[in-house]
Amino acid sequence: MEDGKKDPILETDAEAIRLAKTLLRTARFGALATLDPADGAPLATRVAVATDMDGTPLILVSALSAHTKALAADPRCSLLVGEPGKGDPLAHARLTIKARAEKLERGMPAHDHAARRYLNRHPKARLYADFPDFAFFRLSPESALLNGGFARAYRLNREEILTDGPLQAFLDMEQRAVDHMNEDHADAVENYAVHFAKAERGKWALTGIDPEGIDLAKGDEIRRVLFQERLSDASQVRPALVDMARKARSA
Protein backbone atom coordinates (compact mmCIF):
# COMPACT_ATOMS: atom_id res chain seq x y z
CA MET A 1 0.00 0.00 0.00
CA GLU A 2 1.16 3.55 -0.72
CA ASP A 3 1.12 4.70 2.92
CA GLY A 4 3.23 1.73 4.00
CA LYS A 5 0.46 0.04 5.92
CA LYS A 6 -0.22 -3.63 5.41
CA ASP A 7 -3.25 -4.40 3.25
CA PRO A 8 -5.85 -6.06 5.52
CA ILE A 9 -7.25 -7.97 2.53
CA LEU A 10 -5.47 -11.28 2.01
CA GLU A 11 -4.85 -12.93 -1.35
CA THR A 12 -7.80 -15.14 -2.18
CA ASP A 13 -6.86 -18.82 -2.17
CA ALA A 14 -8.65 -22.15 -2.54
CA GLU A 15 -9.37 -22.38 1.19
CA ALA A 16 -11.08 -18.96 1.19
CA ILE A 17 -13.18 -19.88 -1.85
CA ARG A 18 -14.21 -23.15 -0.22
CA LEU A 19 -15.22 -21.37 3.00
CA ALA A 20 -17.19 -18.70 1.11
CA LYS A 21 -19.09 -21.30 -0.91
CA THR A 22 -19.79 -23.36 2.19
CA LEU A 23 -21.17 -20.35 4.07
CA LEU A 24 -23.47 -19.60 1.15
CA ARG A 25 -24.59 -23.19 0.49
CA THR A 26 -25.37 -23.83 4.18
CA ALA A 27 -27.19 -20.55 4.86
CA ARG A 28 -30.83 -20.81 5.96
CA PHE A 29 -31.27 -17.10 6.66
CA GLY A 30 -29.46 -13.92 5.81
CA ALA A 31 -29.58 -10.16 6.25
CA LEU A 32 -30.74 -8.51 3.03
CA ALA A 33 -29.79 -4.86 2.47
CA THR A 34 -31.70 -2.86 -0.14
CA LEU A 35 -32.18 0.81 -0.99
CA ASP A 36 -35.40 2.32 0.31
CA PRO A 37 -37.16 3.92 -2.71
CA ALA A 38 -38.68 6.56 -0.43
CA ASP A 39 -35.38 8.21 0.50
CA GLY A 40 -32.56 6.09 -0.92
CA ALA A 41 -31.35 5.09 2.54
CA PRO A 42 -30.09 1.56 3.29
CA LEU A 43 -32.76 -0.84 4.53
CA ALA A 44 -31.78 -4.16 6.15
CA THR A 45 -34.20 -7.05 6.72
CA ARG A 46 -33.98 -10.78 7.36
CA VAL A 47 -34.86 -13.29 4.66
CA ALA A 48 -34.82 -17.08 4.34
CA VAL A 49 -32.17 -18.21 1.85
CA ALA A 50 -31.47 -21.18 -0.41
CA THR A 51 -29.19 -21.53 -3.42
CA ASP A 52 -29.74 -22.33 -7.07
CA MET A 53 -27.72 -25.07 -8.74
CA ASP A 54 -24.84 -22.68 -9.47
CA GLY A 55 -24.83 -21.25 -5.93
CA THR A 56 -26.80 -18.09 -6.67
CA PRO A 57 -28.80 -17.09 -3.55
CA LEU A 58 -32.57 -17.54 -3.78
CA ILE A 59 -35.21 -15.77 -1.71
CA LEU A 60 -39.00 -16.00 -1.53
CA VAL A 61 -40.61 -12.68 -0.61
CA SER A 62 -44.02 -11.06 -0.41
CA ALA A 63 -44.96 -8.10 -2.58
CA LEU A 64 -46.18 -6.44 0.62
CA SER A 65 -42.71 -6.40 2.20
CA ALA A 66 -40.48 -3.35 2.21
CA HIS A 67 -37.54 -5.15 0.64
CA THR A 68 -39.62 -6.39 -2.32
CA LYS A 69 -40.72 -2.84 -3.08
CA ALA A 70 -37.10 -1.73 -2.79
CA LEU A 71 -35.85 -4.41 -5.19
CA ALA A 72 -38.53 -3.48 -7.71
CA ALA A 73 -37.28 0.11 -7.66
CA ASP A 74 -33.56 -0.73 -7.63
CA PRO A 75 -32.26 -4.31 -8.01
CA ARG A 76 -28.95 -3.56 -6.30
CA CYS A 77 -28.71 -5.31 -2.96
CA SER A 78 -26.37 -7.01 -0.51
CA LEU A 79 -26.76 -10.27 1.37
CA LEU A 80 -24.93 -11.20 4.58
CA VAL A 81 -24.80 -14.89 5.54
CA GLY A 82 -22.98 -16.80 8.25
CA GLU A 83 -24.53 -17.66 11.60
CA PRO A 84 -22.62 -16.84 14.81
CA GLY A 85 -21.90 -19.68 17.20
CA LYS A 86 -20.75 -19.69 20.80
CA GLY A 87 -18.69 -16.83 22.13
CA ASP A 88 -17.89 -13.60 20.30
CA PRO A 89 -20.21 -13.37 17.25
CA LEU A 90 -17.57 -11.32 15.42
CA ALA A 91 -15.10 -14.20 15.66
CA HIS A 92 -17.23 -16.37 13.38
CA ALA A 93 -16.98 -16.45 9.60
CA ARG A 94 -19.44 -14.50 7.46
CA LEU A 95 -19.85 -13.61 3.80
CA THR A 96 -21.24 -10.40 2.34
CA ILE A 97 -22.37 -10.54 -1.30
CA LYS A 98 -23.05 -7.59 -3.56
CA ALA A 99 -25.76 -8.64 -5.99
CA ARG A 100 -28.51 -7.64 -8.38
CA ALA A 101 -31.96 -9.11 -7.81
CA GLU A 102 -33.92 -10.78 -10.60
CA LYS A 103 -37.56 -11.72 -10.16
CA LEU A 104 -38.37 -15.18 -11.53
CA GLU A 105 -41.59 -15.36 -13.50
CA ARG A 106 -43.96 -18.24 -12.81
CA GLY A 107 -44.12 -20.93 -15.46
CA MET A 108 -40.55 -20.42 -16.64
CA PRO A 109 -37.94 -23.19 -16.18
CA ALA A 110 -35.70 -20.92 -14.12
CA HIS A 111 -38.58 -20.31 -11.71
CA ASP A 112 -39.53 -23.98 -11.45
CA HIS A 113 -36.12 -25.36 -10.55
CA ALA A 114 -35.38 -22.42 -8.23
CA ALA A 115 -38.68 -23.03 -6.42
CA ARG A 116 -37.93 -26.74 -6.16
CA ARG A 117 -34.49 -26.16 -4.63
CA TYR A 118 -35.79 -23.48 -2.27
CA LEU A 119 -38.65 -25.66 -1.02
CA ASN A 120 -36.31 -28.60 -0.48
CA ARG A 121 -34.40 -26.32 1.90
CA HIS A 122 -37.49 -24.67 3.42
CA PRO A 123 -40.36 -27.19 3.16
CA LYS A 124 -42.66 -25.16 5.44
CA ALA A 125 -42.67 -22.42 2.79
CA ARG A 126 -44.91 -24.66 0.66
CA LEU A 127 -47.78 -23.24 2.74
CA TYR A 128 -47.48 -19.85 1.05
CA ALA A 129 -45.10 -20.22 -1.91
CA ASP A 130 -48.00 -20.33 -4.39
CA PHE A 131 -49.76 -17.26 -3.00
CA PRO A 132 -50.09 -14.68 -5.81
CA ASP A 133 -48.32 -11.97 -3.83
CA PHE A 134 -45.19 -14.10 -3.26
CA ALA A 135 -42.32 -14.35 -5.73
CA PHE A 136 -38.91 -15.95 -6.00
CA PHE A 137 -35.86 -13.80 -6.67
CA ARG A 138 -32.34 -14.73 -7.68
CA LEU A 139 -29.66 -12.52 -6.14
CA SER A 140 -27.04 -12.66 -8.88
CA PRO A 141 -23.63 -12.06 -7.24
CA GLU A 142 -21.27 -9.44 -8.57
CA SER A 143 -18.58 -9.60 -5.86
CA ALA A 144 -18.19 -10.60 -2.24
CA LEU A 145 -16.25 -9.90 0.94
CA LEU A 146 -15.38 -12.86 3.14
CA ASN A 147 -14.49 -12.40 6.78
CA GLY A 148 -13.13 -15.77 7.80
CA GLY A 149 -12.39 -14.73 11.36
CA PHE A 150 -9.82 -12.47 13.00
CA ALA A 151 -7.41 -10.99 10.40
CA ARG A 152 -8.81 -13.21 7.63
CA ALA A 153 -10.49 -10.94 5.08
CA TYR A 154 -10.77 -11.73 1.38
CA ARG A 155 -12.37 -10.23 -1.70
CA LEU A 156 -13.98 -12.63 -4.15
CA ASN A 157 -15.32 -12.12 -7.64
CA ARG A 158 -18.42 -13.66 -9.18
CA GLU A 159 -16.54 -16.59 -10.70
CA GLU A 160 -15.04 -17.51 -7.32
CA ILE A 161 -18.45 -17.59 -5.63
CA LEU A 162 -20.45 -19.55 -8.19
CA THR A 163 -20.23 -23.04 -9.67
CA ASP A 164 -19.72 -22.76 -13.41
CA GLY A 165 -20.05 -25.23 -16.26
CA PRO A 166 -23.02 -26.98 -17.92
CA LEU A 167 -25.60 -27.54 -15.18
CA GLN A 168 -28.80 -28.49 -17.00
CA ALA A 169 -28.16 -32.22 -16.80
CA PHE A 170 -27.70 -31.92 -13.03
CA LEU A 171 -30.96 -29.98 -12.78
CA ASP A 172 -32.78 -32.62 -14.81
CA MET A 173 -31.75 -35.50 -12.55
CA GLU A 174 -31.43 -33.81 -9.18
CA GLN A 175 -34.92 -34.24 -7.74
CA ARG A 176 -35.17 -37.89 -8.76
CA ALA A 177 -31.87 -38.58 -7.04
CA VAL A 178 -32.84 -36.58 -3.94
CA ASP A 179 -36.18 -38.39 -3.60
CA HIS A 180 -34.60 -41.79 -4.20
CA MET A 181 -31.90 -41.29 -1.57
CA ASN A 182 -34.32 -39.96 1.03
CA GLU A 183 -36.94 -42.65 0.45
CA ASP A 184 -34.77 -45.71 -0.16
CA HIS A 185 -31.38 -44.92 1.37
CA ALA A 186 -32.08 -42.81 4.44
CA ASP A 187 -29.39 -44.70 6.34
CA ALA A 188 -26.78 -43.67 3.79
CA VAL A 189 -27.88 -40.04 3.98
CA GLU A 190 -27.53 -40.14 7.77
CA ASN A 191 -24.08 -41.70 7.42
CA TYR A 192 -23.02 -38.90 5.04
CA ALA A 193 -23.85 -36.34 7.73
CA VAL A 194 -22.20 -38.27 10.56
CA HIS A 195 -19.03 -39.36 8.78
CA PHE A 196 -18.26 -36.52 6.39
CA ALA A 197 -19.84 -33.55 8.21
CA LYS A 198 -19.17 -34.73 11.79
CA ALA A 199 -22.84 -34.20 12.66
CA GLU A 200 -24.93 -35.93 15.30
CA ARG A 201 -27.08 -38.86 14.24
CA GLY A 202 -30.72 -38.21 13.42
CA LYS A 203 -33.21 -37.94 10.59
CA TRP A 204 -31.05 -36.24 7.99
CA ALA A 205 -32.43 -35.50 4.53
CA LEU A 206 -30.69 -34.83 1.27
CA THR A 207 -31.89 -31.44 -0.03
CA GLY A 208 -29.64 -30.68 -2.98
CA ILE A 209 -26.99 -32.05 -5.33
CA ASP A 210 -24.63 -30.00 -7.48
CA PRO A 211 -21.32 -30.72 -9.24
CA GLU A 212 -19.29 -29.83 -6.14
CA GLY A 213 -21.21 -31.58 -3.37
CA ILE A 214 -24.45 -32.33 -1.55
CA ASP A 215 -26.56 -30.41 0.97
CA LEU A 216 -28.08 -32.13 4.00
CA ALA A 217 -30.68 -30.94 6.52
CA LYS A 218 -32.04 -32.09 9.87
CA GLY A 219 -34.58 -29.59 11.11
CA ASP A 220 -32.72 -26.29 11.44
CA GLU A 221 -29.30 -27.90 10.98
CA ILE A 222 -27.63 -27.71 7.59
CA ARG A 223 -24.46 -29.49 6.48
CA ARG A 224 -22.44 -29.38 3.29
CA VAL A 225 -20.46 -32.39 2.07
CA LEU A 226 -18.09 -31.96 -0.86
CA PHE A 227 -17.36 -34.64 -3.42
CA GLN A 228 -13.78 -35.85 -3.47
CA GLU A 229 -13.50 -34.28 -6.90
CA ARG A 230 -15.83 -31.94 -8.75
CA LEU A 231 -18.18 -33.84 -11.07
CA SER A 232 -18.06 -32.97 -14.75
CA ASP A 233 -21.18 -34.88 -15.76
CA ALA A 234 -24.47 -35.78 -14.09
CA SER A 235 -23.85 -39.46 -14.82
CA GLN A 236 -21.12 -39.33 -12.16
CA VAL A 237 -23.56 -38.53 -9.35
CA ARG A 238 -24.68 -42.09 -8.64
CA PRO A 239 -21.17 -43.58 -8.51
CA ALA A 240 -20.03 -40.73 -6.27
CA LEU A 241 -22.91 -41.24 -3.83
CA VAL A 242 -22.37 -45.01 -3.80
CA ASP A 243 -18.66 -44.56 -3.07
CA MET A 244 -19.39 -42.08 -0.29
CA ALA A 245 -21.96 -44.43 1.24
CA ARG A 246 -19.43 -47.27 1.23
CA LYS A 247 -16.75 -45.16 2.88
CA ALA A 248 -19.15 -43.78 5.50
CA ARG A 249 -20.54 -47.23 6.31
CA SER A 250 -17.14 -48.85 6.65
CA ALA A 251 -15.94 -46.05 8.94
In-domain check, residue 2: no
Domain extent for 68:
9-161
Overall average pLDDT of the 1-18 stretch: 81
Q: What is the pTM of this model?
A: 0.93
pLDDT band at 3 (very low <50, low <70, confident <90, very high): low
Same domain? For 56 and 130 the reply is yes
* CATH number of the domain to which 198 belongs: 3.20.180.10
Strands 221-226, 213-218: pairing is antiparallel
Same domain? For 194 and 101 the reply is no
| pLDDT tens column, 135-193 | 999 999 999 999 987 778 999 999 999 999 899 999 999 999 999 999 999 999 999 99
In-domain check, residue 1: no
Is the confidence at residue 88, as pLDDT, over 90?
A: no
What pLDDT sits at residue 4?
59
Instruction: Among 137, 161, 185, identify where a domain stops.
Output: 161
Beta carbons within 8 Å of 103's beta carbon, 6+ residues apart: 71, 72, 135, 136, 137
In-domain check, residue 216: yes
Same domain? For 44 and 143 the reply is yes
Same domain? For 144 and 198 the reply is no
What pLDDT sits at residue 2?
55
Average pLDDT, the chain: 94
Same domain? For 128 and 219 the reply is no
Same domain? For 88 and 173 the reply is no
Same domain? For 50 and 174 the reply is no
Same domain? For 185 and 90 the reply is no
What pLDDT sits at residue 123?
96
In-domain check, residue 4: no
* Closest among 162, 228, 248, 175 to 205, alpha carbons compared: 175
| pLDDT tens column, 105-143 | 999 999 999 999 999 999 999 999 999 999 999 999 999
